[in-house]
Amino acid sequence: MDQKEKTILFLSPVFKQMIWGGERLETDWHYEIPGPGTGECWAISAHPNGDCVVREGEYAGKTLSQLWEEEPALFGNFENAESPKLDRFPLLTKIIDAKSDLSIQVHPDDAYAKAHENGSLGKTECWYILDCAPNATLVIGHNAKDKDDLTAMIKEGRWDEFIREVPVKKGDFIQVDPGTVHAIKGGIMLLETQQNSDITYRVYDYDRLSDGKPRQLHVEQSIDVITVPARPAKDCVKEAADLPKDERNLLISCPYYQVWKIDVEKGISFPQDRPFLIMSVIAGEGKIGGQPIHRGDHFILPCGYGEVALQGQMEIIAASI
């Protein structure tokens, strides 16, 4: 079959305005954003709060959640799967533009979310830093040594002692397991790959007001789910800016997803052997098969797509289950 005829599901992103958001999704990424303070681009999402629509081709106009229901063969036929993880499109890819700091938060694991959040899924997520200021930091982990220490620090609001900031730079990759205290700091743009879930416990919000009121905190749930002690800081951040060219470089493999970075220089070709493969072009431009793609494009290669041929000068973050 001619490469050009193979189905690629190009998606139109959904944008979210946030109190901490900026304008860079328009100024740097040339998306049409709803206005100032746009913090999130939901680039590949079937979540009810932001369900992406297919941009072109035979499925144009359909939402990703609709396709998951109606065309299960595109995604490897999980319609009869018993795992609750697969009763919906399981992943969510976002670009985040943090003009100011996000709240300090933590996500539950599947078991806790199932018991305490009406059967919801927990949330595991990971970040690829697209851009940040020199000497940027983000919050990953905490400094409490045991549960009593943790409880005291949170209840007494000893945030400077509690919060662990680690330095990051463009091209760093960070896996955020459930139970990990985390926060994106102002000035950071990143690509997030996560489980399709929205259960977040806010530990601390810098005493900020949103519409005149502080946003809700979830102190007890946070204390329940935070892992103590935290993983050592040096194990949390992985350099991924300069990986071997024209290869699929695995950044993480966990029970919920695998994520790869592909830096295309001379070209790479490999079989699409996953149930489906998500791709986000984060730099440069090139072609997939015969079709032009460029920075800011997000798409899904369905099950049975066949040989994936990438050419051009570009960087791609790919993910699958």
Helix (H) or strand (E) holding 237: strand 237-239
Q: How far is CA 308 from CA 7, 29, 215, 273, 281, in A?
A: 12, 25, 45, 10, 14
User: ∠ at Cα 307 (31, 92), nearest 5°?
Assistant: 40
3-class state of residue 144 by DSSP: coil
Number of H helices, E strands in the chain: 6, 23
298-301 vs 277-288, strand pairing mode: antiparallel
Active site residue 202: yes
Q: Residue 169: CA atoms inside 13 Å, Cβ hemisphere, count?
A: 6
Q: Residue 319: CA atoms inside 13 Å, Cβ hemisphere, count?
A: 29
Two structure tokens written together for 160: 């400077």
Report the candidate in 213, 252, 265, 215 with the shortest Cα–Cα distance to residue 91: 252
**8 A C-beta contact, residue 289 and residue 6:** yes
Q: Which of 88, 164, 202, 274 is catalytic?
A: 202
Q: Cα separation of 57 and 38, whole Å?
A: 28
Torsions phi, psi of 219, nearest 5?
A: -65, -50
3-class state of residue 213 by DSSP: strand
Catalytically active residues are 202
